Amino acid sequence: MIVVPSKYRFLFILQLSALVIAFSAFVCIAAKPCPETKAASGNKQLLLYSKNPSTWKIVKTGAGGKLIYSESTGAFKLKASGLSPRTAYALIRYADAPPRAEILARGVSDDRGSLNLSGLWRNWTRKFWLVSGEDVAGRAGEAGSLRAWRPDRYLFEEKPLGIDGVSLKSKERK
């Protein structure tokens, strides 16, 4: 037990409170970004995976990507890896109206099968896929159409956006 003379008690409590607040902030920052920090940035993330077209389960050793986007500004960045090298790809929004698709961006993977895309987009609902560039007709920023279906070459969203109650089963995430 700490004994503090009454004339210094207020000062002691003030210093102790400052230490507790400082320690709490340090623990929050050191462990991972605090929820308030993440919310303040306004960025959200959607993971893209290779999926087995027969079962639609995630292929654990397959290609993958991470789409970081801001609903408020519309800015997005996609980083994907494990793709076919030197191959054209298109990031599309698919709203279950075949063969229609909206094309967010196009690009070509590098020699290692990595791809970085970025741009602006406003409608962050439904499904987002990374498809073979030759399988979709149209230019980035415009409506397009799927002209081939080769899902073994695509990356599919972790879950559709803007649809309440939709989530992956825990088995599929492992």
The percentage of the chain sitting over the pLDDT mark of 70, rounded to a whole number, equals: 70
Partners of 84 in the beta sheet? none
Q: Are residues 57 and 135 in the same domain?
A: yes
pLDDT digits (tens, 9 = 90+) for 147-172: 999 999 999 998 888 764 443 333 33
Mean pLDDT score, 79-84 = 98
What is the count of structural domains for the chain? 2
* Domain assignment of residue 50, yes or no: yes
Q: Please give the model's pTM, rounded to 2 decimal places.
A: 0.70
* Domain assignment of residue 57, yes or no: yes
- Which domain covers residue 29, as residue numbers? 6-35
| Number of residues that this document lists for the chain | 174
Partners of 70 in the beta sheet? 43
* Domain assignment of residue 90, yes or no: yes
* Domain assignment of residue 1, yes or no: no
Cα angle value 156/35/14 (rounded, 5°)? 170
Q: Are residues 30 and 86 in the same domain?
A: no
Distance separating alpha carbons of residues 170 and 134, to the nearest angstrom: 34
Q: Are residues 14 and 57 in the same domain?
A: no
Q: Given a cut of 60, is residue 105 above it in pLDDT? A: yes
For position 96, what pLDDT does the model report? 87
Q: Are residues 50 and 110 in the same domain?
A: yes
pLDDT digits (tens, 9 = 90+) for 6-46: 665 555 554 544 444 444 443 333 333 333 234 336 799 99
Q: What is the DSSP string of the chain?
A: -----GGGHHHHHHHHHHHHHHHHHHHHHHHS--HHHHHHH-EEEEEEE-B-TTT--B-TTS-EEEEEEETTT-EEEEEEESPPTT-EEEEEEE-S-TTEEEEEEEEE--TTS-EEEEEE-----BEEEEEEGGGEES-TTSEEEE----GGG-BEESS-BT-TT----HHHH-
Question: Residue 5 — pLDDT band, cuts 50, 70, 90?
Answer: low
Q: Are residues 67 and 148 in the same domain?
A: yes
For position 148, what pLDDT does the model report? 95
Tokens at 83, concatenated: 């793709």
Q: Are residues 30 and 47 in the same domain?
A: no
CATH number for position 82: 2.60.40
